[in-house]
Amino acid sequence: MTIKDILLEEETNSTLGTDGAIVRVLTTIGEIEQQLRTVWTSFEGHRDGDIDFYLEFIQASSSTMRPHVIVVYRHGQPSALLAGRLDRNKVNHRLGYVRIPSTESRALMFMGFRGEETPDNCRLILNSLLETLKNAEADYAQIPTLHESEIYRAALQLPSFVCRDHVPETSQNHILRITGNYKQVHGQLSANLREQIRRKKKKINADFPGRAEFICYTLASEMEIAIPHIEEIARKSYQRGLGVGFSDTESMRRRLQFCAAKGWLRAYVAYLGGQPAGFSIGTICNKTYTSDFLGFDPQYREYSVGTVLQSVLLERCCQEGVEVIDFSAGHADYKKRFGNATMTVARVYVFAPHFKGVYLNSVKTLAAGANKVGKYILSTAGFLPKMRRALRSRAAS
């Protein structure tokens, strides 16, 4: 059966656009595999929007109820899609690093846009999303995207006042564009950073002669060795104190096994004196290294293990032909120091037009607004970096 036949047979979950485009919502893995795999794999995009990464994620997630992929068809062929999932979760908003009491909700969590991101396609996709929210199938939706992208604009313009995101979350995503070999890229780092790396490597070699190792684990068969060592570091890190970052769970093990089987995984672990001291976990996909998790044991702080590990990672990426290192969203000094470019990423919400959706929007707006004002005041006064360091030190203690 062709895609055109399926579209003619199945009128449910379908919307006809004014220009003849058809919008459908696929809610089963079978539908996705049958109708989208070939064209989905032909679309370029971020690793998180890869069809296999997406399917593995939703099958491994204990909170996911079903897939939710909004597809625009033109002339019987998929033109664009927004891949997501329907989750049952708790909304977690924060005032700084402090969590606001959460609320049990149903959320449409989107993972990536693929295909032609035109204004018309994005309008059709958002209208379909708004219809789903209107039917009370979910309380809100969350869309990660680039700031000022077409889907970003549509998500802010099309919902009604009570349903739109009034304070969308944006952040600077630092990246390193690699041109040349490691020696050339290393030479482009600041003189201060190059000197720090040199001094810390010298100190490590002096204090741990012949007993300092930086190992990159890539194989599924190596995970039984690597994961316990990574967890030993992670439980002592400030990230664990804040309730974020790497954690040795069944879903995490499944994710790492999957990435290893795909040939993507790069799990770096630093060993000083035979003891796990720091780690950095990421993937290489489409010539882009994406950083996912990292941490270090505070007792090795004087060696700047994280900085040295990043230089080791950088050298290997150059050897493997990586063109971009994506340090991922979130503030950290090392990202700015190693990066040579930035892009503004956003996470925009759309809320359902019923009581719970409006309530969640009001809480989110107040929290995000307070955070924005607070960060501005602290940053202007020069207190923000000091506060971040203090909170991280406290979380690690």
pLDDT band at 242 (very low <50, low <70, confident <90, very high): confident
What confidence score (pLDDT) does residue 10 get? Answer: 43
Crossing angle for the helix pair 150-157 and 119-134, nearest 10 degrees?
40
Do 17 and 157 fall within a single domain?
A: yes
Do 199 and 255 fall within a single domain?
A: yes
Do 297 and 367 fall within a single domain?
A: no
What confidence score (pLDDT) does residue 11 get? Answer: 42
Q: Nearest-CA neighbor of 325 among 190, 173, 208?
A: 173
Alpha-carbon gap, residue 302 to 200, rounded angstroms: 8
Q: Which DSSP letter does residue 338 get?
A: H
- Between CA 104 and CA 96, with CA 157 as vertex, the angle to 5 degrees is 45
Do 72 and 135 fall within a single domain?
A: yes
Alpha-carbon gap, residue 174 to 99, rounded angstroms: 26
Alpha-carbon gap, residue 160 to 383, rounded angstroms: 38
Give a yes or no: residue 331 inside a domain: no
Do 155 and 45 fall within a single domain?
A: yes
Alpha-carbon gap, residue 267 to 281, rounded angstroms: 4
Segment 2-16 mean pLDDT? 48
Three-state DSSP state, 45: coil
**Predicted confidence (pLDDT) at residue 283 exceeds the cutoff of 60:** yes
What confidence score (pLDDT) does residue 163 get? Answer: 97
Do 142 and 69 fall within a single domain?
A: yes
Segment 325-340 mean pLDDT? 89
**Predicted confidence (pLDDT) at residue 3 exceeds the cutoff of 60:** no
Alpha-carbon gap, residue 17 to 120, rounded angstroms: 9
Report, in angstroms and rounded to the nearest whole number, the Rg of the chain calculated over CA atoms: 23
Do 247 and 362 fall within a single domain?
A: no
**Predicted confidence (pLDDT) at residue 2 exceeds the cutoff of 80:** no
pLDDT higher at 6 or 76:
76
Which one of 270, 287, 322 terminates a domain?
A: 322
Alpha-carbon gap, residue 32 to 30, rounded angstroms: 5
What confidence score (pLDDT) does residue 371 get? Answer: 66
| Residue spans of alpha helices (H) in the chain | 3-9, 29-42, 51-60, 119-134, 150-157, 182-188, 191-207, 223-234, 238-241, 250-262, 305-319, 333-338, 355-381, 384-396
Do 83 and 108 fall within a single domain?
A: yes
What confidence score (pLDDT) does residue 231 get? Answer: 97
Alpha-carbon gap, residue 70 to 65, rounded angstroms: 16
Give a yes or no: residue 333 inside a domain: no
Residues 88-124: pLDDT tens digits? 987 766 655 556 666 789 999 999 999 999 999 999 9
Which one of 269, 288, 322 terminates a domain?
A: 322
Do 43 and 109 fall within a single domain?
A: yes
Residue-wise over 32-65: b if at least 16 C-beta within 10 A, else e?
beebbeebbeebeebbebbbebbbbbbebbeebb
Do 95 and 129 fall within a single domain?
A: yes
Give a yes or no: residue 279 inside a domain: yes
**Predicted confidence (pLDDT) at residue 158 exceeds the cutoff of 70:** yes
Task: List all residues 6 or more positions away from 31 whose beta carbon is below 8 Å from its beta carbon.
Answer: none
Do 192 and 220 fall within a single domain?
A: yes
Q: Contact, 272 vs 212, CB < 8 A? A: yes
What confidence score (pLDDT) does residue 395 get? Answer: 46
Give a yes or no: residue 166 inside a domain: yes
pLDDT band at 14 (very low <50, low <70, confident <90, very high): low
Share of the chain above pLDDT 70, in %: 86
Q: 330 pairs with which residues across the strands? A: none
Q: Model pTM?
A: 0.84
Three-state DSSP state, 189: coil
Q: Nearest-CA neighbor of 331 among 312, 314, 345, 310?
A: 345
What confidence score (pLDDT) does residue 393 get? Answer: 55
The domain of 376 spans 3-172+345-393
For residue 244, the domain's CATH number is: 3.40.630.30
Give a yes or no: residue 242 inside a domain: yes
Give a yes or no: residue 212 inside a domain: yes
pLDDT band at 183 (very low <50, low <70, confident <90, very high): very high
What confidence score (pLDDT) does residue 181 get? Answer: 94
Q: Contact, 338 vs 314, CB < 8 A? A: yes
Give a yes or no: residue 131 inside a domain: yes
Segment 237-253 mean pLDDT? 86
Do 233 and 308 fall within a single domain?
A: yes
Number of domains in the chain: 2
Give a yes or no: residue 98 inside a domain: yes
**Predicted confidence (pLDDT) at residue 341 exceeds the cutoff of 80:** yes
Residues 204-235: pLDDT tens digits? 999 999 999 999 999 999 999 999 999 999 99
**Predicted confidence (pLDDT) at residue 193 exceeds the cutoff of 90:** yes
pLDDT higher at 380 or 308:
308
What confidence score (pLDDT) does residue 244 get? Answer: 81
Q: Please count the other Cβ atoms lying within 10 Å of the Cβ belonging to residue 294.
A: 26
Alpha-carbon gap, residue 290 to 292, rounded angstroms: 6
Segment 161-173 mean pLDDT? 93
Segment 154-181 mean pLDDT? 94
What's the mean pLDDT when you consider all of the chain? 89
Task: List all residues 6 or more positions away from 157 whose beta carbon is below 8 Å from its beta carbon.
Answer: 164
Q: Nearest-CA neighbor of 10 among 54, 83, 81, 71?
A: 71
What confidence score (pLDDT) does residue 20 get? Answer: 80
Alpha-carbon gap, residue 272 to 49, rounded angstroms: 37
Amino acid present at 22: I
